[in-house]
Structure 1
Amino acid sequence: MNWISNYVRPKINSLFSRREVPENLWTKCSECGTMLFHRELADNLMVCTNCDHHMAITPRERFASLFDGGVYTEVKVPAPVTDPLHFKDQKRYPDRMKAAQKSTGEEEAMLVAEGEIGRTPIVAAAQDFSFMGGSMGMYVGNAIIAAAQRAVKLKRPLVLFSAAGGARMQEGILSLMQMPRTTVAVQMLKEAGLPYIVVLTHPTTGGVTASYAMLGDVHIAEPNALICFAGPRVIEQTIREKLPEGFQRAEYLLDHGMLDRVTHRSQMRAELITLTRMLTGLPPEVKGDLPPPSIGPDAETAPELPAAVENAEPAKAGAKTAGDAAAAKPVTAKSAKPAADAKDKGTAK
């Protein structure tokens, strides 16, 4: 046994060796440059705790915070033809698809699910910008049609979260055909009298904005989201003029009437619950897990009585307890006060 090689050298290497630290523990905010711990950032729904910048969020993370208890069921989407144009640029289209599927863990750029928010059943669809820029291809068109058909079948509202760079160039004219296809899907919801709510996230551009993203009954946007058809840089180069500050951002569009609300991500769930229940004619959401208390003669349990009423004299002869008196004849605070006064006068006599 060599003492130097078997003991001394490993000991020295352990003292001076570099410890392996996971690279995904910290995230740098693209707006303010603050380093954010990954758990703190995830608990804050991928919103910077320093400058309130809304970062990209995956559809599964969004649905986990949206649906009651994070429980939802995925809706199956018909798979389109793979590489219909045999497109190739620097890479073959199938190779790009495999790389995107490996990096995101998703099959395509849109996820469709059904579940309940605030005990309100809905169908939801969300685009994943990390999957080839959330580009709209044949699968995205099929997903929106499947979501609309499912909503019509179950008679539920459809909530769509858009995040895309436009149409997918690798599918050419077939990707542009998704614009009229998705418009017809939205019309199905209109004819069925079902609400269609669109939440526009950063960024929503190109053919997506020119089709299903701007056809909702209500349009909500996350703060500072870029929403446009052509980007500001292209417009500046075309008209050769300086654009206003905040041009094509959510707040600018809200001021000019293209949006209904700009809502923080932490308040989005409550906003959607209120809207869906209002548009479907349901009563306001009940806070908590218990149903609303029954008020009326058929109530199984009487509401708790005030202290002044509980200490009042029984209002009916033969009633042994205040509860029996309350069951025999409703006792109010106004009727309890004269009874108490009469008792005091009798004691004085």
Structure 2
Amino acid sequence: MSKTNPGRFFEDYTVGEVIEHAVPRTLSGGERALYHALYPARGAFYSSDEFARDCGLHEAPLDDLIAFHTVFGKTVPDISLNAVANLGYAEGRFLKPVHLGDTLTARSEVIGVKQNSNGKTGVVYVRTTGTNQLGEDVLSYVRWVMVRKGKLDAAAPDTVVPELADAVAASDLVVPEGLDFSGYNFAQSGEPHRLGDYEVGEKIDHVDGVTIEEAEHMLATRLWQNTAKVHFDVTNREGGRLIYGGHVISLARALSFNGLANAQIIVGLNAGAHVNPCMAGDTVRAWSEVLDTAETGVDGVGAIRLRLVAHRPEAEPFALRGEDGKYLPGVLLDLDYWALMPL
């Protein structure tokens, strides 16, 4: 009997099953330091304990995307080890800040399956929840993945495609307990712009760019314990290793500091798609569009809904789709999220 695990294939998933993912992860300042080294992350809320205390918390939590990447990485051996590509996200909610010393575990429920017409792959939909050592859920999101079939003659399962909300309702966003932006320090945050300075439909070119190197991508993939073969095994995919989609998300989010420095805390992930492959050597730039704004009922705290687009230089800022309605070849990421911002 083999003691190794080749990973799950499309025919191995059953709608309704719950998968408890292995290897809990205790997070420390090391993850924060590496995150800030890998990405040009400069959000004051996550960089300074004193800034976070002035906003009502006892210390700066870990960057929200550290929690996301950590939980995501837990799921890879069971969900996307044999994936062709991670396709999209929906219904993401950040439920509780993650602090130094917290231990995260993850579980996923299979909520949909659909075999592709080629009979060689299928799409698996899962809802993943990350939980801390106290049994408190810290985040939850849906993602769908294209996975290879292990046996091409395996019968196609009944198609189940879940109905997913277009966006997380503003009323369902969770504001961290104690958060208060009424005494917000705009000088320390890096920009003077508050929620009222942004208009729905406004577009912001974040100007800067970052060229992805093979070494930093590999470091990031290992940091988040992401074992998907397409990211680290150059023999697994013709044309080279794919850059982990979360790496692109974090790069684009960090680049958005220039123009959105006060969109401090991600609290909702409405939708997202990795629309074209990203490879080492690509230069990533970003732009954002304001989709909506809302009040939260908490002192000084508002919410801003943003479309964040990562693209290569050949795609001009604010260009997204061609006349045929398809994403332009230079567009890498189309992400729709909610963030908290001072009113």
Instruction: Provide TM-score, normalisation by structure 2.
Output: 0.22
Instruction: Provide TM-score, normalisation by structure 1.
Output: 0.21
Q: Which has the higher helix share?
A: 1
Q: Which has the higher strand share?
A: 2
Rg (Cα) greater in structure? 1
Larger RCO of the pair (alpha carbons < 8 Å, separation 6+): 2
